[in-house]
Structure 1
Amino acid sequence: MIPTDKKALFIIHAYNNFQKESINSTCNYFKSCSVLVRSNPISEFSKYIKVPFLETFKLDYKIDLNDVPPNISVHPTPVLYTPLNSQYKKLGEKHFKAAETSIKKNNIEFDLIHSHFTWSSGYASAKLKEKYNVPFVVTGHGYDIYSLPFKDEEWKERIEYVLNSADRIITVSNKNLSYIKKLDVKTPVHILPNGYRPDKFYPMNMEKCRKALGLPLDKKIIVAVGNLEEIKGHYYLVEAMAEVIKHRKDVLCFIVGGGKQERNLRRQIKNAGLENHVKLPGSKLHNEIPRWMNSCDLFVLPSLNEGNPTVMFECLGCGKPFIGTKVGGIPEIIVSDDYGLLAEPANSERLAETILLALDKNWDTTKIKAYSAQFTWAEIGKNIVDIYKTLL
């Protein structure tokens, strides 16, 4: 056990969903945990003027204060920046300075730092390690591992600096590890997938969930959950739905989420004449997602690339089949047709074929649910704590 007088500092981008649950799964091993959540004051303008892609940047979306353990304190860390690619490289140093300000303002003490994402949280944490001389763990989730370091030489140097500054690296899939091996990194790496909360994501009565959400009872319902970003591949799901309804008119698809692609997707849906078959209900808080998942016949994630998506584990926890793409760590989890079906990414024709096949398949909810038990956050948290123990 870690001595109970130890304190942890978490530098993260959002205290909701997988970052929140990862922290909560380990907090019992510390006397106290301070969580610094990067925020952007610009996003708060969307409270007054609706800007769809800013919705997921707002504090009331990024910070979920439901079920917060008593030894966790959550502090917004304001970092003013324009959410454009041209400003992204400057974010690391700004994040570090904002984190330092928050540490001093809130009199935060810590014996270990854990950041989620290499940029910009990882960079800020690497700088804090240099100043405070405490162990530093970084979790690389997805784009920050498979994309950022390979954009140009400057990005490569920055991400290598973060990874080599860390005492331990956690990443969520063997696929991610293969990208880390392409870099000049000497830090030990641990593969730990994301997880889910079984007290929130479990099989519920489909009819009751549909009634609660106002969804029809006489349709086959597909649900996709994720930010409306190009990398999530929703364009191909909409294209696939145009093919699906040629074979079945009883299918309705809900793409739950907000983001930059919302306007483009609405235009695509309208131009394809799919308004009666594809709906965009907008972004939902994490505690609303279990009902959406339990309302569906199939959960679909058409990503072009991934780390190891949390929604996959949540879907399995609800006993629902996962229909996805052969990217990132997904094929490492969907290892049998008993749990889901996978198609090639960026291929709407193959995705449509897979969806149609899945709609006709008899799925064993009990078997899917039983398989998911190894991916609960409680199980993942034990492994994270084992890493902390080696450093403390």
Structure 2
Amino acid sequence: MRLRGWLYTRATRRRRMMEAGSSDISVAIVSSVVGKSPREVTYSFVFDEAYRLVQRGVNVHVVRAAVEESSSSYGINFHGIRRRVDAEAFVELLKNLPLYSPFALLRNPLMLYWENLYALNISNVVENLRIDLIHAHFAYPEGFSGLIAKRRTKKPLVVTLHGYDILVEPSVKYGIRLSKRYDALVREVLVNADAVIVASRAVFEEAVKLRGRKSGTYLVHNGVDIKRFNPNLNGSLIRKRLGIENKFVVFSARHHRPVYGLEYLIKAAALVVKLRSDVVFVIGGEGPLRTYHEKLVEMLNLENNVIFTGRIPRDEMPHYYAASDAVVVPSLQEAWSLVVTEAMASGKPVVGTRVGGIVDQIIDGYNGFLVPPRDPKAIAEKILWLIDNPDEAKRMGMNGRRLAEEKFDIEKRIEKIIGIYKELVG
């Protein structure tokens, strides 16, 4: 089975290289828990990127942080950690201690060991398979382990930043850099990475500040599959399943965590329902605050107007957008927000907060509205406007679709990433 997967990978890679005209580049993508199929939700954006790199002829090896045998799936080669207890990793840790700042050393010794264990296995994959470069998603832990591997293998290191690893929101304790110990590690990674990829202007500015230079910092907008997310899908099955056929549907798919501001959406729902009882708020996702949000709904007497779906399977997400009339993203901080991009590609108007990468996607009054964070009244006002102006709401949705086609197609992102690879490997 493994041989067949290897042969498939090799044959399809050669064919796609000829079709796409791509160079024979090999990359070790460092992503600790990314799934092995398009159906898995965890770090799905990494899988989508890796899969499309393979289609363009890049030889992709993903190094995960699990004890597992090497395997192949969808043309991607997956590698794990050989064993949890590895004497060589202890040797690597001792050798690499001078690389750590004093702050970074004031942590659980097991974390120091794990970073070097992961780095050792990344290095082994790179050296044994003669891989051209290392591409880590997130500055920590993947980027730091990738940096250790870079120093051992002498291969270029690319780091993609995703938000939690660089942006902070102290009010809800969001961001790893709130700890000086991890802030030191993130700075070390960014200063020494050969290329840093960011999705939004907010992250670009912060990355440049930490790196001390613009060179090697690339603003490459995130993208989605604009064929998969499109305005022509039928959402009637989702509406029928949820019993909301004749309602105005407001959709939001967020983890139930403080930084995503769902309580402000629920409070906005209470204001909307006072004026329009024919509105339903569908909230997808799981997280530690779900129970609190459910109790908030009960307290505000919104049981008939708010539906919590729990985790939504990836293959159903496009149909949830199709079933909605508007999408709301009430985040307190957000490096990008693929929910906004997916909603735009689906032809839906979006109400989003004026934070992070959301402002790179929503043009206020054109494809949606920007509102201040933590402002239920502002959210409610924009939702009511969309309800009262259906033709304008539809026009906004189509404007968003055009923007997605022009700027946020994932295939365009992949082209730019391959261009960065080529620069680094010559």
Both structures adopt the same fold (TM-score exceeding 0.5): yes
| 1:345-375 CA-partner distances (Å, limit 9, x unpaired) | 0111211112212222322244332221021
Please list every run of 5 or more consecutive structure 2 residues that lacks an aligned counterpart in the other structure: 1-20, 36-42, 85-105, 169-174
Equivalent position to 1:73, from 62, 70, 77? 77
Closer/same/farther in 2, CA of residues 105 and 382 from structure 1, 3 Å limit:
closer
Report the more deviating stretch, 378-387 or 329-338: 329-338
| Cα shift readout 1:155-193 (whole Å, capped 9, x = no counterpart) | 322111111221000111111122224325446211111
Tell which structure's C-alpha radius of gyration is larger. 2
* 1:367 pairs with one of 373, 390, 399: 399
User: 1:92 deviation in Å?
Assistant: 6.8
**1:389 alignment counterpart:** 422
Question: What is the one-letter code of the residue matched to 2:402?
Answer: A
Moved more, 29-38 or 137-146: 29-38
**Do 2:143 and 2:159's aligned partners in 1 also have CA atoms closer than 8 Å?**
yes
2:12 alignment counterpart: none
Between the aligned partners of 2:109 and 2:156, the Cα distance in structure 1 is 25
Contact 2:190 2:210 in 1 (8 A): no
2:290 is aligned to 262
SS in 2 for 1:197: coil
Structure with more relative contact order (C-alpha pairs < 8 Å, separation 6 or more): 1
1:200 maps to: 228
| Whole-Å separation in 2 of the counterparts to 1:33 and 1:200 | 23
Unaligned runs of 5+ in 1: 42-64, 81-85
Cα-to-partner distance string for 1:301-333 (whole Å, 9 max, x where unaligned): 100000011111111111111111000011122
Q: Who is 2:163 aligned against?
A: 142
Instruction: Report how far residue 29 of structure 1 moved.
Output: 4.4
Q: State how far apart, in whole Å, the 2-side matches of 1:114 and 1:239 are.
A: 41
Q: Which amino acid aligns with 1:266?
A: E
Q: 1:218 aligns with which of 221, 246, 266?
A: 246
Q: Which amino acid aligns with 1:314?
A: E
Contact 2:164 / 2:176 at 8 angstroms: preserved in 1? Answer: no
1:115 to 120, 136, 150: 136
Tell whether 2:104 aligns with 1:100. Answer: no
Partner of 2:38: none
Q: Which moved more, 1:232-241 or 1:350-359?
A: 350-359
**Where does residue 53 of structure 2 map in the other structure?**
26
Is the CA contact 2:123–2:149 (under 8 Å) kept in the aligned structure 1? Answer: no
Aligned AA for 1:330?
I
Scaled by the length of structure 2, the TM-score of the pair is 0.77
Which residue of structure 1 lines up, in the alignment, with residue 149 of structure 2?
A: 128
- The 3-state SS of whatever aligns with 1:26 is helix
Give the root-mean-square deviation of aligned CA atoms: 2.8
Quick check: 1:315 aligned with 2:347? Answer: no
AA paired with 1:245?
V
Q: Structure 1: which amino acid aligns with 2:158?
A: V
1:312-351 correspondence runs (5 A): 312-351=340-379
CA distance in 1, matches of 2:139, 2:200: 15
Per the TM alignment, residue 385 of structure 1 is displaced from its structure 2 partner at its CA by 0.8
Counterpart of 1:346 in 2: which secondary structure?
coil
Per-residue deviation at 1:25?
Answer: 2.8
Q: Provide the TM-score with structure 1 as the length reference.
A: 0.83
After the TM superposition, list the runs of 4 or more consecutive aligned residues in structure 1 that deviate by more than 6 angstroms: 86-90
CA 1:377 to 1:101, structure 2 compared with 1: closer, same or farther past 3 Å? same
- Structure 1 partner of 2:203: 176
Q: Distance in 2 between matches of 1:303 and 1:132?
A: 40
CA contact (8 A) 1:326 1:343 kept: yes
Letter aligned with residue 182 of structure 2: W
Distance in structure 1 (CA, Å) of the matches to 2:288 and 2:376? 21
Instruction: For 1:116, give the aligned amino acid.
Output: H
* Identity over aligned pairs, percent: 24
Aligned residues: 360
Partner of 1:159: 186
- 1:34-55 superposed Cα distances (whole Å, 9 cap, x missing partner): 11234699xxxxxxxxxxxxxx
More displaced, 177-186 or 219-228? Answer: 177-186
- Among 210, 217, 236, the residue aligned to 1:189: 217
Give the stretch that moved more between structures: 265-274 or 183-192: 183-192
Task: Indicate whether 1:357 and 2:385 are aligned.
Answer: yes
In 1, the alpha carbon distance for the partners of 2:243 and 2:78 equals: 36
Q: 2:260: which partner in 1?
A: 232
Counterpart code for 2:28: L
From the superposition, tell whether residues 10 and 272 of structure 1 become closer, same or farther in structure 2 (CA, over 3 Å). Answer: same
1:245 aligns with 2:249: no
Tell me the secondary structure at the aligned position of residue 25 of structure 1: helix
**Shift in alpha-carbon separation, 1:37–1:359, aligned structure 2, 3 A:** farther
Q: Pick closer, same or farther for the CA change 1:103–1:133 going to 2, 3 Å.
A: closer
Measure the CA separation in 2 of the matches of 1:322 and 1:89. Answer: 45
Q: 1:90 to 1:196 in 2, by over 3 A?
A: farther
Q: Determine the structure 1 residue equivalent to 2:28.
A: 9
Name the residue aligned to 2:410: 377
Question: Residue 281 of structure 1: SS of its match in structure 2?
Answer: strand
Deviates more, 1:196-205 or 1:315-324: 196-205
Q: Following the alignment from structure 2 to structure 1, what is the Cα–Cα distance between the partners of residues 145 and 222?
A: 23
Report the equivalent of 1:273.
301
